[in-house]
Chains A and B, each alone.
Chain A
Amino acid sequence: MLSKLIKYEFKSTRRIFLPALGVLLLLSLVNAIFIALPETALEHVSAPFGIIMTVYVLSMFAVCVLSFAYMINRFYKNLLGDEGYLMFTLPVRPSELIWAKCIASTVWMIVTGIVCMISLFILVMPISMISTVDFDFWQSIQLVFSQMLRNYGAHLFLVPLELIVLGIASVISFCMNIYACLSLGSLANKHRLGFAFVAYLIFGVVQQIVLLITTWVWNLLNIDMTFFNNLNAMAQMHIALLGWLLITVVWIAINFIITNYILSKHLNLQ
C-alpha cells in the first residue's frame, strides 16, 4: 500500500513541481544565451537581460520556497484537512501515510536542489566555454583527482557517500520534525497552525537544552580522548560523520514516533 500512496503523492505534486522546475531551467538557458552574446551585442540588450536575470534569481528562490511550502501544505491539507477524511479511512496504516508524504517531500526537496545546481551550471557554461583555460582546466582536475586517489584511496568515495547519506537523512529529519509539529498542533481545538509553530519553537529549545546537558555531562565524565586523537584524519572524519548520522536517525525516530502516535491514537479531524 505504501507504494500506491507514494504513487498518488507524486501524481498530485508533480503537476506543480515539473512546470516550476522546467521554467527555472528554461530561464537559466535564456540567461546563458545572453551571457554567451559578445559584449557589444549584450550592451544593446542589457535591459531585458537585467530583467530576465532578476526573474531567474527570483524563480530560484521561489522553487526553494515551493518545495518547503508544499511539504507543509501536503501534510496539513491532505491529512489534517478535509482530504484527511478520505486518507484516514483508506485501509492503510497512519505510518504509511506519514512515510508516503515524507518520501515524496524529501525527493522533491533533493530534486529541487539538484535542478538549482544544474541551472547554475547551465548559467556558467558559456563562461567556461569562452575562457581559454578549459583544456588545462580539465587536465588539472584529472591531475588533482588522481593525486587525491593516491593519497586517500577508497576514502575519496566513502566520505562523499557518507555526506550524501547524511544530507538525505537531514532532509528527512527536517520533514519529520515539521510533521511532528503539525500533528502536535492538531491536538488543539483552535489555532492549530499557531500551536504547530509554538511546538516548533519548543523543539528548538529542547534541542538546545539537550545539547547543553550533553556537553556538561561530557565535560564532567572527562573521558580520555587520546585514542581518538591518535587516529588519522580520515578515521576521525568517518567517526564524526557516522556519529552525526546516528544522531540524525535518532531525531527522525523521535519525531516519527510522536507523529505516528498522534495520528494513530489521538486523531481529531474537525
Chain B
Amino acid sequence: MANEPILQCTGLCKSYGNKPALENITFALERGRIVGLLGPNGSGKSTLIKLANGLLTPTAGEIRIAGNLPGIETHAQVSYLPERTYLSDWMTANDLLKFFADFYKDFNLDKAAQMLTHLGIQPNDTLKSMSKGTKEKIQLVVVMSREADLYLLDEPIGGVDPAARDYILSTILTNYSETSTVLISTHLISDIEKVLDDVIFLNKGQITLHKSVDDIRSEYGKSVDALFREVFAC
C-alpha cells in the first residue's frame, strides 16, 4: 500500500467542551514531502498533530496514518516531537537513548549518540541539570534518529536560539529519507520556508490553503512568509 497517503483526515472535528478547535478537516499527505503546517497561535495545529498521535480522540470524523487509525501500529511508524518537554527529569541523555532503542525498532542509536556529541551534550548529565533549550535539542535528536515513515514535529524550533535553529533544520533535512514525510508546525515561517515542499494554512480550525511552495510562488508571486502575513493580517 505504498501509494496510500501517509496521513489522511476525513471530516475531522475536535472540540474542547463547547469550544471547537478543528472543524471538518479533510486532507491527505503524500509520501516523501516536507510539509509546513502554518497558522497563528490557537489555530488548531497542535490539536491536529495530537489527534494523529492518538493523544486526543476526535469528536467526529477520522484520522488515518498509512490506512490505520492511531494505535500501536501507527506509533511504530510515526516519530513525534511534541511542543512541550516530555522527558523524565531523572534520566540522563544516555538513559533516554537506551529507552528509545528499547522501544522503537527503527531507532538508530549510533546516529543519536553522534548528534549529541555534535551538539556538545554530555551523555551522562541528568536532564534535570539541563536548560529548557538543551532538553528540546535532545528531544529533537531522539525523534530524528528514528527511521520513521512520518515525522510530526510540533514547533521544533520555537524554543531554541537562531544558531541552533539552523542545525536543527539541517538535521531534519539530512535525516529523513526519500519515502518519509515530515510535517512541521510552526509560526516562524521565514526560518523554515526554504526546506518546505508544501504548506497548509490553518485558521480557526479550518484549512484555508493547501498548496506546494512552487505553486504559491508562481500563483501569488510572493514568498510563503509574505502570503502568510497577508492572509493572517490582524
Contacts and interface: CB of A to CB of B under 8 A. Distances in A.
Nearest to A13: B90
29 contacts: A1-B103, A4-B103, A8-B99, A8-B102, A12-B88, A12-B90, A78-B88, A82-B84, A84-B55, A84-B86, A85-B55, A85-B80, A85-B84, A85-B86, A86-B87, A88-B54, A90-B103, A91-B73, A91-B75, A91-B103, A93-B72, A189-B17, A265-B57, A266-B57, A267-B54, A267-B56, A268-B56, A268-B57, A269-B50
Contacts of B85: 82
B181 interface: no
A84 B55 CA distance: 8
B184 interface: no
B37 to A, nearest CB: 18
Nearest to A78: B88
A90 to B, nearest CB: 5
Interface residues of A, number: 23
Contact of B16 (A1, A85, A189, A266): A189
A150 interface: no
B29 interface: no
Interface string A1-35: 10010001000100100000000000000000000
A266 B56 CA distance: 7
B56 A91 contact: no
Interface string B7-29: 00000000011000000000000
B53 interface: yes
Contacts of A84: 55, 86
Interface in B24-59: 50, 53-57
B99 A91 contact: no
Given A267-B55, A267-B56, A92 B72 contact: yes
A269 B75 contact: no
Given A83-B86, A92-B72, 18 more contacts: A12-B88, A82-B85, A82-B86, A85-B55, A85-B86, A86-B87, A89-B75, A89-B80, A90-B104, A91-B72, A91-B76, A93-B72, A189-B16, A189-B17, A267-B56, A268-B56, A268-B57, A269-B50
Contacts of A4: 102-103
Interface in B88-105: 88, 90, 99, 102-104
Contacts of B53: 88-89
Contact of A86 (B54, B72, B86): B86
B88 A269 contact: no
B66 interface: no
B78 interface: yes
A92 B88 contact: no
